[in-house]
Structure 1
Amino acid sequence: MNEEPEPWQWPEAVWRGKVDRVRAGPALQPASWPEGKRCAVALSFDVDHETNELRDGGKSIGAMSRGQYGNRQGVPRILELLRRHDVPASFYVPAVVAQLYPNEARSFVDLGHEVGIHGWIHERNSVLPFEAERDLQMRSADALERICGVRPVGIRTPSWDFSQHTLEITRDMGLLYDSSLMADVDCYRLLLDGEDSGVVELPVEWIRDDAVYFNMNRFTALRPYTPPEAVFDVFWREFEAARAEGGIFQLTMHPHVIGYRSRIWILEELLRRMTATGECWFATHADIVEHAVERAA
């Protein structure tokens, strides 16, 4: 019986191959931003709704009701704030959510926002066979195009879970960009086995994600609750650093997380302060990637 070797027993070809499968290539920091602005602001919302419960075969009515809150309260509050400040954003929508709430999904595009791929049912890519992952990613794009009338050009993998095959599938689909990885703060080209994949990364980071501060699981006693004031402070410091560097401030939020009365003010105050600087180019992820590709120094 052959046992799998431990990582410390791997030959160099194995560990190097794992590291080199998907790597950050050249950075794409533009020499300037449109309208003479100092920095770019990329606001995004992962519209998970009920799929956080559904993807693991769950049937908790309570958990799904929390997801439904995202549709009933979170999204309307977010869209109103974006409208009031005249700011575009990117919404990453699982295909199941788009089918549950087609009017909501269409409204994102109708209001001038971007809709991107976010899996079929918020599945975990790294546990899927290649053919299943490929099928779900392609079906998700088809479903969003059918419902929203526009084919997505970008993807954010559910839970930012990235398999050995994800970039290959994304490349073969001809997508412009991914927004699931964390190797930089600026856009960068993604390398697949050392070669330029043609896909650009607009990176995320857990510290710029609302869910890590507010989510809880009562069955595991997991309650990583952070006061909203502290979360705002983290986000604002990230923005100020991005502005000082002339880079990108990218933020990930969830309607069922940020969309509560005691939290939505975080987004409102960010928008108020950022617009007051007069130095921000607010754009969708797709627009920022296109600009970075065209104007990289």
Structure 2
Amino acid sequence: MPSEDLDLPAESWQWPESTWRGHVDSVRAGRRLTPDRWPGGARVAVALSFDSDHETIPLRDGETSPGRLAQGEYGARAGAPRILDLLARYSVPATFFMPAVSALLHPEEARSYTRDGHELAVHGWIHERNMLLGRDDERELTARALDTLTTLTGQRPVGIRTPSWDFSESTLDIMLDLGFAYDSSLMADDEPYEIVAHGRPTGLVEIPVDWIRDDAPYFTMDRYGSVRPHSRPRDVGEIWRDEFDAAYRDGGVFQLTLHPHVIGHRSRLVVLRELLDHIGSHRDVWFATHAQLCDAARTCLDDTSPSSPAPDAPEHP
């Protein structure tokens, strides 16, 4: 936040232009990073991801009842093995974003991801809300998570997805300082793009997410709250098929975010299997981990041809 914002009026309509423009420009979508063709001459890139949160959601909130923890344990005990079996059956690589505490609770699961040829990436320490942390705490937890996954698997993660699906004032600097190649937390485009900070390209690749392509909004259940599942699994499958079909027509990216404790139930995993069948019926499809997608997108940064900026994004040399 700009220093002049310390004494801001309470109402945003009273802010001077320098204030609201400063907030908008702090983290922005820059150049769209979509090559003319994906590796192997593919028309579309498909990047599946799974957030293996497991018990960290209730633990983050200080909820330690066996019932709440069991909901998360389901993801490790039943969901993740089913997902790995399904991915192996279709020979599809995926990216697993895993909080470090989840990996410490289930170390063999974390190692199985990389052993089976998938990518393991950072998803915070205990699924903390990074938006509520001070800079020092956020950096310490992110670095600790990065070191934990590296120690468990022998492979240093190159990507991160913030637990909040958002950036604090410090998040971008922390990502750059810790050497991440890509982030997958923001929603400014359908296609990968370079993150721009205050008008300056950062070199950090963003692989955007969206709630449309996430299982949690459709299927999450909170017994004591107002959150209730409101969608039939096959209705959600239709939305995701339409998303893929549009990405195929555009020659872009179909990115999907799922959770083992959510999608891993029997009636819902059917939808993922049917989606993979639908995608497999198309020619020239490239299944990639988020790290592989980042590498392909990064070739656009080295391209000397004119850039293709996202709408409303400034062009950069």
- TM-score range with shorter-chain normalisation? over 0.9
| Counterpart Cα distance in 2 of 1:222 and 1:95 | 26
SS of the equivalent of 2:191 reads coil
Aligned twin of 1:28: 33
Aligned twin of 2:62: 57
RMSD: 1.3
Match of 1:290 among 287, 295, 316: 295
Deviation, structure 1 residue 4:
5.2
Aligned length: 296
Amino acid at match of 1:214: F
Aligned twin of 2:16: 11
| Counterpart Cα distance in 2 of 1:128 and 1:247 | 35
Query: Which runs of at least 4 in structure 1 moved beyond 6 Å after TM superposition?
Result: none
Matched, 1:188 2:193: yes
Gaps of 5+ in 1: none
Contact 2:150 2:157 in 1 (8 A): yes
Contact 2:241 2:278 in 1 (8 A): no
Quick check: 202-211 or 264-273, which moved more? 264-273
Amino acid at match of 1:208: R
Contact 2:8 2:15 in 1 (8 A): no
| Counterpart Cα distance in 1 of 2:258 and 2:10 | 40
Deviation, structure 1 residue 221:
3.0
Listed one character per residue, the Cα deviations across residues 258-281 of structure 1 (whole Å, up to 9, x for unaligned) are: 000110011111111212213210
Amino acid at match of 1:288: L
Listed one character per residue, the Cα deviations across residues 110-132 of structure 1 (whole Å, up to 9, x for unaligned) are: 00000000000000011000100
Gaps of 5+ in 2: 1-6, 306-317
Match of 2:181 among 176, 182, 189: 176
| Counterpart Cα distance in 2 of 1:212 and 1:47 | 16
Q: Structure 2 matches for 1:212-227, cutoff 5 A?
A: 212-227=217-232
Q: TM-score, normalised by structure 2?
A: 0.91
Aligned twin of 1:129: 134
Deviation, structure 1 residue 181:
0.3
SS of the equivalent of 2:266 reads coil
Contact 1:216 1:225 in 2 (8 A): no
Deviation, structure 1 residue 3:
8.4
Listed one character per residue, the Cα deviations across residues 153-196 of structure 1 (whole Å, up to 9, x for unaligned) are: 00001131321211111011111000000000111000112211
| Counterpart Cα distance in 2 of 1:168 and 1:193 | 12
Contact 1:168 1:192 in 2 (8 A): no
SS of the equivalent of 2:142 reads helix
| Counterpart Cα distance in 1 of 2:279 and 2:246 | 13
Aligned twin of 2:258: 253
Matched, 1:116 2:124: no
Match of 1:263 among 257, 261, 268: 268
| Counterpart Cα distance in 2 of 1:63 and 1:90 | 26
Quick check: 214-223 or 127-136, which moved more? 214-223
Matched, 1:139 2:144: yes
Matched, 1:150 2:180: no
Amino acid at match of 1:195: R
Amino acid at match of 1:163: S
SS of the equivalent of 2:201 reads strand
Contact 2:131 2:164 in 1 (8 A): no
SS of the equivalent of 1:242 reads helix
Matched, 1:75 2:80: yes
- Aligned-residue sequence identity (percent) comes to 54
Deviation, structure 1 residue 225:
2.1
Aligned twin of 1:280: 285
| Counterpart Cα distance in 2 of 1:263 and 1:194 | 43
Amino acid at match of 1:87: V
Amino acid at match of 1:33: W
Match of 2:98 among 93, 99, 118: 93
Aligned twin of 2:313: none
Matched, 1:40 2:73: no
